[in-house]
Structure 1
Amino acid sequence: MPIETIRGEPFNIQIDGAADAPVLMLSNSLGTNLHMWDPQIPEWSKQFRVVRYDSRGHGQSTAPDRPYSISELGSDAIAIMDHLGLDKVNWCGLSKGGMVGQWLATHARKRLNRVVLANTASRMGPPELWNGRIRNIRANGMAVIVDATLERWFSQPFRERDRETIAKVSEMLSTTPALGYAGCCAAIRDMDQREGIASVTTPVLVIVGKVDPATPPVAGKLIAETIHGAELVELDAAHLSNLEQPEAFGKAVLDFLNA
């Protein structure tokens, strides 16, 4: 579908699957866009109306030059649901998208059926790390972080084996608006959901990558331990586990959503 105006701002939204199918909403990681989910769409769209969007600051969506917050990113998701007439959705978010999912499960639980939180954390410090990244990006653009980011996001064997995927993700990173990326870095810097998620009652699946240096397994396990009844799946992957292990990731999500 074309870029939609949501609360006066442009958001790039793509929908796949039957109009009468249950809805699965997807939220991208920091530094990617809605195409990070491309490998999962063919299977997921057989059972779900899959709604994915470029997060604020990413892809073709709005990217104002200011700090954002996790609550603002969550409110964006709710506004998109409202715009599309969606009362309730299933949610799958990875990294930053999982942080938004935690906020929604805490503050808008009536809008959610089931929630997948992949390769994410409830807090990511220290602030100095994020402040340094923000300064670097604002001064030098996205190119300065691409190589180091790819090393964190994918295991070395995968980087050597699947150069096509690495090239696609490199392009996503390179073309992410620098000011939008910086705005989202501020949202992650200021986030602390460790206590809030204890109130979550929505069914939750937490997915971790066994060799993920960005959001290590201990971060995902803490979320699973904090949310009563949450399930945990570990994949042989680094940070972008849906790209490094696309079949296993896709199956884990479908098994959970269809339980």
Structure 2
Amino acid sequence: MPAVRLADGDLNYQLEGPTGAPVLVLSNSLGTDLHMWDVQMPTLTRDFQVLRYDTRGHGQSLVTEGPYSIEQLGRDVLGLLDALDIAKAHFCGLSMGGLIGQWLALNAPERIARLVLCNTAAKIGTPEVWNPRIETVLAGGAQAMRDLRDASISRWFTAGFAATQPQQVEPIVDMLAQTAPEGYAANCAAVRDADFRELIAGIQSPTLIVCGSHDPVTTVENGGFMQQRITGAQLVEFHAAHLSNVEAGDAFTQALLDFLNQ
């Protein structure tokens, strides 16, 4: 796969779709990689150049010493856009990717056309949630990541979807088991420390907020909080848990297309 050389290592990416089409950046959730968007790709690449990448600490991208920050991860995206000579793009991020999208829209608004914030919040969790997870992963290494894999199924997918669609669920949760413990822990710290609650009213990009009605991590109420503060923001809710792009599938993709083509 191609990679962009950042100052401290390589950022893995894929750019697919018709040359000259508008660019859409897809940003993965904590514990997954760019393949979490596979179900969307056949449709999105008809109308867009789709730029997927593995966030630092994930997939085939660089794993550097942590903790990371959302600003650092956002600057990685700007470095990727610069290297590919992309002046402006739509941005769609899920969970941690949504935090990165908020940072970009606030700090580099000239680079973001339309913004899609999926299964995310202006602040996700508390130190009481994140710190024990960080400690467990750093102490337990690969085995701790495998344990997290099993625990993540109920957070990422509804019970019905997990039971009836194992062929979709298993490849996604396996991404978590294969994530480098050091990279995962460093990204947990980035999510822990991010807080845009007092800032998101400054987002000017047209924004779509996507929620899962059964998401135990970033709730519909979290989505409503953002919608109330971002001028003109739209909100759509799917019968899904945390990874609505996988569980809602075609409906998610269509909502994304409808928004981007407005």
Using the size of structure 2 for normalisation, the TM-score is: 0.97
Aligned pair partner of 1:242 in 216, 241, 245: 245
Aligned pair partner of 1:257 in 227, 236, 260: 260
Q: Compare 28-37 and 3-12 and name the one that shifted more.
A: 3-12
Contact kept? 2:4, 2:80, Cα under 8 Å: no
Aligned pair partner of 2:181 in 178, 183, 202: 178
State the alpha-carbon separation in 2 of the partners of residues 125 and 171 from structure 1.
Answer: 23
What's 1:9 paired with? 9
What's 2:53 paired with? 53
Using the size of structure 1 for normalisation, the TM-score is: 0.98
Alpha carbon RMSD of aligned pairs, Å? 0.9
State the alpha-carbon separation in 2 of the partners of residues 207 and 125 from structure 1.
Answer: 18
What's 2:132 paired with? 132
Give the deviation of 1:46 after TM superposition.
0.3
| Matched residues, number | 259
State the alpha-carbon separation in 2 of the partners of residues 233 and 125 from structure 1.
Answer: 22
Stretches of structure 2 lacking an aligned partner (at least 5 in a row): none
State the alpha-carbon separation in 2 of the partners of residues 92 and 7 from structure 1.
Answer: 25
* SS, match of residue 14 in structure 1: strand
State the alpha-carbon separation in 2 of the partners of residues 132 and 161 from structure 1.
Answer: 32
What's 2:29 paired with? 29
What's 2:119 paired with? 119
> Cα 1:8–1:66, aligned 2, differ >3 Å: closer, same or farther?
closer
* SS, match of residue 12 in structure 1: strand
For the pair 1:63 / 2:66, whether they are aligned, the reply is no
Aligned pair partner of 2:152 in 149, 160, 165: 149
Contact kept? 1:92, 1:116, Cα under 8 Å: yes
Give the deviation of 1:12 after TM superposition.
0.8
Contact kept? 2:238, 2:248, Cα under 8 Å: yes
Give the deviation of 1:163 after TM superposition.
0.4
What's 2:93 paired with? 93
Give the deviation of 1:22 after TM superposition.
0.5
For the pair 1:38 / 2:38, whether they are aligned, the reply is yes
For the pair 1:193 / 2:196, whether they are aligned, the reply is yes
Which residue type is aligned with residue 128 of structure 1? E
Give the deviation of 1:2 after TM superposition.
2.0
State the alpha-carbon separation in 1 of the partners of residues 75 and 138 from structure 2.
Answer: 25
State the alpha-carbon separation in 2 of the partners of residues 94 and 178 from structure 1.
Answer: 20
* SS, match of residue 50 in structure 1: strand
What's 2:170 paired with? 167
Contact kept? 1:21, 1:47, Cα under 8 Å: yes
Which residue type is aligned with residue 209 of structure 1? G
Same amino acid, percent of matched pairs:
47
Which residue type is aligned with residue 38 of structure 1? D
